Amino acid sequence: MKNLLYIFLGGGTGSILRFLISTYTQKLWNVNAFPIGTFLVNISGCFLIGCLSAYFLKIDNSLKYLLITGLCGGYTTFSTFSAENFSLYENSNYSMLIFYSLFSLFIGILMVFLGFQVVKN
């Protein structure tokens, strides 16, 4: 139960950070149509989950639920997606790495389109 509380607190904090960083970055660097705020959040989230994952390999405690699952998960799910792809790479599962990456991207875009169409009509 304690781990669920950690995930809850970290997730809320990560979501707030994502909103603030993305919004203010986009306002500061308004680069035409490029979503620089979301890009910065995704890339920094990937770096953060890499650092935290390496750290928590050395020690095992409940803070990983607060910081990795909660904070990084709330901050950006792209970081989790990237960490999973890195794991596939580390395990030399290259065909699954390519399949998972391309399939996720294709199906994700398709689902956004379908969801948009369902609500729009």
| Integer angstrom CA distances of residue 30 from 35, 37, 61 | 8, 9, 41
Whether residue 70 contacts residue 8, with contact meaning beta carbons closer than 8 Å, is answered with yes
| Distance in angstroms (rounded) separating the CA atoms of residues 24 and 94 | 37
Q: Distance between CA atoms of 39 and 51, rounded to whole angstroms?
A: 19
Whether 76 has a binding-site annotation, put simply, is: yes
Of 4, 13, 3, 1, nearest to 73 by C-alpha is 13
73 assigned to a ligand binding site: yes
- Annotated binding-site residues read 73, 76
- Annotated binding-site residues for Na(+) read 73, 76
